[in-house]
Amino acid sequence: MIALLAAATVFGAAPQLPPLPEIRREPQVTYLDRSGAVLGVRGGRYAPPADLAKLPTYVPAAFVAVEDRRFYEHTGFDPVGIARAIVSDLGQGRAAQGASTITQQLARNLFLSSDRTMERKAQELLYAVQLERTYSKRQILSLYLSRIYFGAGAYGIEAASQRYFNKPAARLTLKEAAMLAAIPKSPTNYNPADEPERSDERAGIVLAAMVETGAITPAERAKAMAQKPKVWKSAPTASAQYFLDWVDGQTRQLAGAPRQDLVVETTLDLPTETAAAEATRASVAGHKAQAIEQAALVTVDGAGRVRAMVGGTDYAKSPFNRAVDARRQAGSAWKPFVYLTALEAGRTPDTLVVDEPVTIAGWTPRNYEAGYLGEITLEQALAHSINTVAARLADEVGRPTVAATARRVGIVSPINTDPAMALGTTQVSPLEMAQAYAVFSNGGNRVAAYGVERIRTAGGAVLYQRKPVVWTPVIGNPPLSELNRMLRTVIASGTGVRAAIPRYDLAGKTGTTSDYKDAWFCGFTGGFATVVWMGRDDATPMRKVTGAGAPVELWRNVMSAELKRLPVQPIPAGPAPPPPPLVVVDPATLPPPPPAPAEPAPPPTN
């Protein structure tokens, strides 16, 4: 080690040193929500050099004080520190590790492995000297702050500030800066999210070092130590990672593999997304007794913009995006496609039908409740999700025609046309159901759900701009107005009555599949549709979970928050008149339906 120190000193004074390797950094793609908030970064690990001019002066000062207080004096390495480490480590047979300057740490990060060998340490010293000769202290510190690891997957000061404090590094307080400067010594032991007491203790050491270096006063240290910054236990944008996985694929299709840093402006509304994710986790946790394991949620506006996307309860544990990639039977949430086909064929909400036993190609559908209602209107049949009526109606108008209707409004998955298709045996994703229901909300215009509005370089050059929406009508009137009237009735007095929110114009449909494997609520207001799915990843049954239960509750909780943020309007159809009372054919065997009847469970596909 003494020879190593001597060699480094000689190289420090020598006029010629080997050239530095090229500093490489893979391009990053930064995703923003619709208001400009950072959702996350994909691509390369490291951000561009930190802009010291935008950081409070105490941020870099905290790192200099605790990591390398002679940073502005040495030429890449600190002989005094190295000598002290040599004395400490002479009997241990390894290179000194506690004397690395900020420049040495940067050299190791840029060019070397973390192997603890004499050869690597010698290279580190040589590269550190060359870095000092090539770059200014300010440039070295900028590079260092952009590459240092802060734990929890955060590389660089900006990523760390967003991860732990949900704010840009330019807004860090003195205490927060000290907490971040405390981490590099041991990202595991001083992580403020997992080790708050150790983090606070070491932040005190950082602040004391800042006093010793003159960066702050004792009074400023005392004031900072009294503060308790909010630390996010998990990343504040964790739920948005499902959405980012989805739009990252879109970005690469639109702009190709990034060759420079890109910024992608998306459609997501982060406050809405965060509230939806929290409500989803709480709902699943609150219904554990009913064996609900997972949930997914999508909100799409009338132009197809995805405003919220929850792909599961915990991205860190399961990044599988159930909102996009899961295909589950739609249950009775499929029935609006059946009824829309019938309305387009000339029927009306007031058309009389008969709820009675029916057999189609050897298949006999069952209602959820025992008994039959006899003669009822189509509006009543949809509101109370009568299976016999839906099955007969699809048979009469033609199941291929129903499939064509579903395809026309946005269903892209394969559609079966066996008799049970009327009850929702087709497997679909929550995203495509939201895409389809958005057509009901926007006046009957087809939309394609999307998440990318604009892609630009970090310098501002626009590479892609979403074209303005061109309306493509796919549902005319009166069928659209009549269908919306019927779907309003589902919430006013049918299976979705618990979804009602006072003073808002809402419509929707519950859905439950056979053996309670899937439960849905698909609902909308003017210009916005939100779809909720609940179930289990292995498709085993839940405990009598229907669309009228937990999914409706979750939908209402989420929509109550969304309606306050989104520019909602009445559904493009007149207000629905109150439905006529139901007439029960056999009161001895079938009591009147309760205010919130359970959703019917269709039989499995034949």
Residues identified as active-site: 67, 332
Per the rule left: phi > 0, alpha: psi between -120 and 50, beta: everything else, 440 is: alpha
Contacts of 339 (CB under 8 A, 6+ apart): 378, 382, 390, 393, 483, 486
Report the alpha-carbon angle 59-62-68, nearest 5: 130
Q: Report how far apart, in Å, the C-alpha atoms of 499 and of each of 144, 168, 307, 400, 591 are.
A: 53, 38, 20, 32, 23
Amino acid at 490: V
The 3-class secondary structure across 45-62, one letter per residue, is CCCCCCCHHHCCCHHHHH
Cα–Cα nearest to 238, from 312, 175, 170: 312
β-pairing, 427-428 with 507-512? Answer: unpaired
CA distance 557 to 562: 9
Phi, psi angles (nearest 5°) of residue 33: -80, 180
Q: Report how far apart, in Å, the C-alpha atoms of 498 and of each of 95, 182, 291, 548 are.
A: 68, 50, 21, 7
Q: Report how far apart, in Å, the C-alpha atoms of 600 and of each of 216, 360, 380, 512 are.
A: 68, 19, 14, 6
DSSP string, 276-340: HHHHHHHHHHHTGGGT--EEEEEEEETTSBEEEEE--S-TTT----TTTT--EE-GGGGHHHHHH
Cα–Cα nearest to 409, from 461, 331, 344, 490: 344
CA distance 344 to 339: 9
CA distance 204 to 313: 36
- The three-state secondary structure class of 206 is helix
- 410 touches 446 (CB < 8 A): yes
CA distance 498 to 512: 16
Q: Give the length of the chain.
A: 606
Query: Which tokens is 442 given?
Result: 């926007």
